Amino acid sequence: MEMFENNKFVLHRIKFFILIILQISAIVISLLIFAFFITHRAILNILQNQALLALIIVNFVELVADLPMPISFYYLGYVKPATNGYCIWWTFFEYNLHLISELLVATISIQRHILIFQANIFHNRFKRFMFYYIPLVLCFIYPIILYIIIIILYPCDGTQWDYTSNLCGYANCYLIYNKVLGTFDWAANNGSPVVIIMLANMTLVIRVIRHKRRQRQANSWKKQRRMTIQLLTISSLYLFAWLPSLIIGVTQQLNSPSFLANIQTDYTLDFIYLIALLSPWIYLKLLPELMKWLGNLLHRGQIVHNVVRPI
């Protein structure tokens, strides 16, 4: 028992240092990205960058408002404050951010097909509103309404929480006591977006390759390749972060709650935090204009430093 607690302490401390180091760097890069979009409105007018900015904002909220809670848990080794209300708020807030982020990437994956192959659809204001902006807005509205109903309003006495596990043991009443709701949340809410992301990316690659062979236009291919690589890179991070916990979570709901339970709580569920922690680094590579802007800032700073340095 003592060795088990020591192992837990070491694991928690390792997670604490990894999370806080990655969090600080991700926040700095995110702030630079926001500054870039504010000073480059023309870049923000590009339709695909608007959806990307919405995704960056959601990930930034997770970095500054949600991640401090698991970081605090891994530092202390227990949930503080250990109350029913805190666990309800924490799970409601985190589940919302994760599902909104997933739905946004799934929506962006579908919209990217239209942007590459039928961009003229979005030239019409009504169609742009209906097929671009409304789906993005629904990605925010649906999770909030859903989790108000199944987390906040779900009748439960609050005695099921595990204050010695991250996110209070993921012990929401609907996950423990309602197999239908639990399976729906894991499979339909979290699983469906992942399936859509995979299928949309695979078909996009096939369509782009076939289109390149037919068109043989260098300029058109360059734009398509850039938009495709942008989507593939972001989607790959989401698939890596979500697939392990999804497979285990659905199996637990359908078969046995104890299936790989320790692996799930100690490792795979923490992979989901990597989305917010690593995505700002990906955006740096995916926005060449951003890299040029940062390079110019560093160059100017170096010139100023050299000018004011005393002889």
In the predicted model, is pLDDT for residue 166 greater than 60?
Answer: yes
Residue 110 in domain: yes
Say what the pLDDT of residue 226 is. 72
Residue 303 in domain: no
pLDDT digits (tens, 9 = 90+) for 261-302: 788 888 899 999 999 999 999 888 777 788 888 888 777 755
Residue 65 in domain: yes
Say what the pLDDT of residue 31 is. 95
pLDDT band of residue 306 (cuts 50, 70, 90) is low
Q: Outline where the chain has alpha helix (H).
A: 2-39, 41-44, 47-61, 68-76, 84-117, 125-128, 134-147, 173-177, 179-183, 192-215, 218-254, 261-266, 273-286, 288-308
Say what the pLDDT of residue 308 is. 52
Residue 179's CATH number: 1.20.1070.10
Residue 61: how many other CB atoms lie within 10 Å: 17
- For residue 169, what are the domain limits? 2-289
pTM: 0.90
Q: How far apart are CA 146 and CA 131, in angstroms?
A: 22
Residue 186: closest CA among 173, 175, 178: 175
pLDDT band of residue 46 (cuts 50, 70, 90) is confident
Residue 181 in domain: yes
Say what the pLDDT of residue 261 is. 79
**Position of tokens 């010695």?**
164
Mean pLDDT, rounded, for 170-189 = 90
In the predicted model, is pLDDT for residue 20 greater than 70?
Answer: yes
Say what the pLDDT of residue 229 is. 80
In the predicted model, is pLDDT for residue 244 greater than 80?
Answer: yes
pLDDT band of residue 192 (cuts 50, 70, 90) is very high
Query: Residues 51, 281, 294, CA angle at the centre, nearest 5°?
Result: 90
Residue 201 in domain: yes
Question: Which tokens sit at 23?
Answer: 């969090």
Yes or no: say if 197 and 238 are a contact pair by the CB < 8 Å rule.
Answer: yes
In the predicted model, is pLDDT for residue 186 greater than 70?
Answer: yes
Say what the pLDDT of residue 3 is. 55
**Position of tokens 């987390």?**
151
pLDDT band of residue 231 (cuts 50, 70, 90) is confident
pLDDT band of residue 223 (cuts 50, 70, 90) is low
Mean pLDDT, rounded, for 184-194 = 91
Number of structural domains found in the chain: 1
Residue 302 in domain: no
pLDDT digits (tens, 9 = 90+) for 100-148: 999 999 999 999 888 888 888 888 899 999 999 999 999 999 999 999 9
The residue ranking higher by pLDDT, 16 or 253, is 16
SS3 78: coil
Residue 72 in domain: yes
Yes or no: say if 272 and 223 are a contact pair by the CB < 8 Å rule.
Answer: no
Yes or no: say if 277 and 26 are a contact pair by the CB < 8 Å rule.
Answer: yes
Residue 296 in domain: no
Question: Which tokens sit at 147?
Answer: 């989790």
Yes or no: say if 62 and 153 are a contact pair by the CB < 8 Å rule.
Answer: no
In the predicted model, is pLDDT for residue 217 greater than 90?
Answer: no
